[in-house]
A and B are shown apart, each in its own frame.
Chain A
Amino acid sequence: MEFEGDKGRTIAIEVKNLSYTYSRGLPYEKEAIKNINLIVYEGEAVGILGHTGSGKSTLIQHLNGILLPQEGEVKIFGEKIINNKTFLKNLRKIVGIVFQFPEDELFAETVFEDVSFGPRNLGLNEDEIKKRVIESIKDVGLDESYLNRSPFSLSGGEKRRVAIACILSMSPKILVLDEPTSGLDPIGREEILSLIKKLKNEKKVTIIMISHSMEDIVQFADRIYILNNGKIVIEGKTEDIFKNKEILEKYDLSVPDLFLLGEELKKEGFVISEPFKDFDIAKREILRNLS
């Protein structure tokens, strides 16, 4: 029997007492993160919230060994990250990071070439590469006709999806997304968010999403960590964190409008059994109350 809680679940990421200072020892040294502790279980979706300069990006660069811990340690599926070329190469197969504005990293002549860059670096054979490219381009909601186009001819939202496909084609077990919706129009934003939800539900990928927007994170994150000035200030289940309006306000994070709507409706006498995480839930709950 499985209990509600963390027993018996595989730990995907474990970060212990992690600290990192840029330009250590120089007058312009900058402490980016301090004493971070974080656990992510397999198959879980975790949101990391924080403002610009809160150390979010520094933290995620530790997850695939781009930055190595100055203090503390990072374990991926129980294995401690060490500075070893083969180890790091294997690590990057397991942990895929979609950085902020990932479309800036597109470089090839065709979408196919760009998406196949990752699998090719993994040393897979041509058939497997082709299979993975087609699979991942479909996963991000584009079709095969895109494969022969130039990535630079696509729209902003399409480029972003191709860039995500570039990481998916390496079939990582853990997918880290740094502000995946920033700079997109509302439609593009919705597309990316539903893509992430799909990856979580259908592909069972462990997801870490970084954002400064509560609205984005709330839609799919099981748990949330709030980062402020390089420290984790709060962690907890998404619903629990939401309810605590004062804390959110203290760190200048706004409660999503949809959730506020739910609260207001409750005051008006609506019976609401589930917090309004996304439009589907809200629609269902409101319709149920109205009928």
Chain B
Amino acid sequence: MISKDSIIIGQYFPGFGFLYSVDPRAKIISFLFLMIIIFIFKNILSFIPIIILLLLFFISSKIPFKHVLKGLKPIIILLIITIFFHFFFTPGNIIFKFYFLKITYEGLIRGVFIGTRLIVLILISSLLTFTTSPLELTRGLEFLTLPLNKLHFPSSEIIMMITIALRFIPVLVEEADRIIVAQVSRGASFDEGNIIKRAKNLIPILIPLFISAFRRAEELAVAMEVRCFQPGKKRTYMRRLNWRRLDTIFTILIILIGLISYFIG
């Protein structure tokens, strides 16, 4: 069974810490900047201040360490593969040899460096989604992409699509859960047989899920239409974003920390 607890990336973690009160736009700008700058880091030392900063944020937001680790789970395989390739396939001074596999000093450094970068990347993005509700996040994104409207980029519509998609992730997960429970009660099992049989076993889940997703889509479309939603038209919001001086200071500070870290290495 999939449970809601197992999907961590991109999930909001309700709380009251400092980061929760920062304007979503400030968080998006500064964290995006951090994500970009760690890609041009040349030295592993540069990561140290960033990791300390992230730890402080996680602690101040009272997000349990266990929860953060759970969020890293889905990328473990990616991480292992990445590190593996860098360990064994970087040419240089060989420090360990096992038949045809050889680890080089350069490979070791490079592997650890890339691995750290990947983990920090995930940590930054999960910090953002843990402390920002999907609604705030999309509002922030919408505001930040507003200038693109001038270039005939349908930013509002795209953001509306993202908002709806995000909004329906938990709904669909719940629905899938419900259907799985019902089909398991009818004797279905999903962890038996070879890969083709397993794929076939998914049919009793996927078909009802699709049917209900289409039904929901239709209902939502009708509901939006009766409320006079018109794509491309300017709309108003119940909750307005409010940029304070604190948000400016926050953004500048984070960008500075990013730059300083870059120059340390």
Chain A residues close to B by CB (< 8 Å): 23, 26-28, 61, 64, 66, 89, 92-93, 96-97, 99, 102, 104-108, 117-118, 121-122, 152, 166-167, 170
Contact = CB atoms under 8 A, between A and B. Distances in A.
B185 A121 contact: no
Nearest to A93: B187
A27 B185 contact: no
Contact of B183 (A27, A96, A105): A105
Contact of B185 (A64, A106, A107, A122): A64
B185 A92 contact: yes
Contact of A66 (B13, B67, B184, B211): B184
A66 to B, nearest CB: 5
B214 to A, nearest CB: 12
B15 A96 contact: no
B4 interface: yes
Interface stretch (B150-158, B201-209, B249-257): B201-209
A96 B13 CA distance: 37
12 contacts: A64-B185, A66-B1, A66-B185, A92-B186, A93-B187, A102-B182, A105-B204, A105-B208, A106-B208, A108-B204, A117-B204, A170-B187
A121 B181 contact: no
Contacts of B208: 104-107
| Interface of B (DSSP majority class) | helix
Given A26-B67, A107-B204, A117-B204, A170 B15 contact: no
A28 B5 CA distance: 11
Contact of B186 (A26, A28, A104, A170): A170
A104 to B, nearest CB: 6
Given A27-B14, A28-B14, A106-B208, A121 B189 contact: yes
Contact of A97 (B67, B185, B207): B185
Which residue of B67, B185, B189 has the most chain A CB atoms within 10 A of its CB atom?
A: B185
Nearest to B188: A121
B2 to A, nearest CB: 13
B178 interface: yes
B212 interface: yes
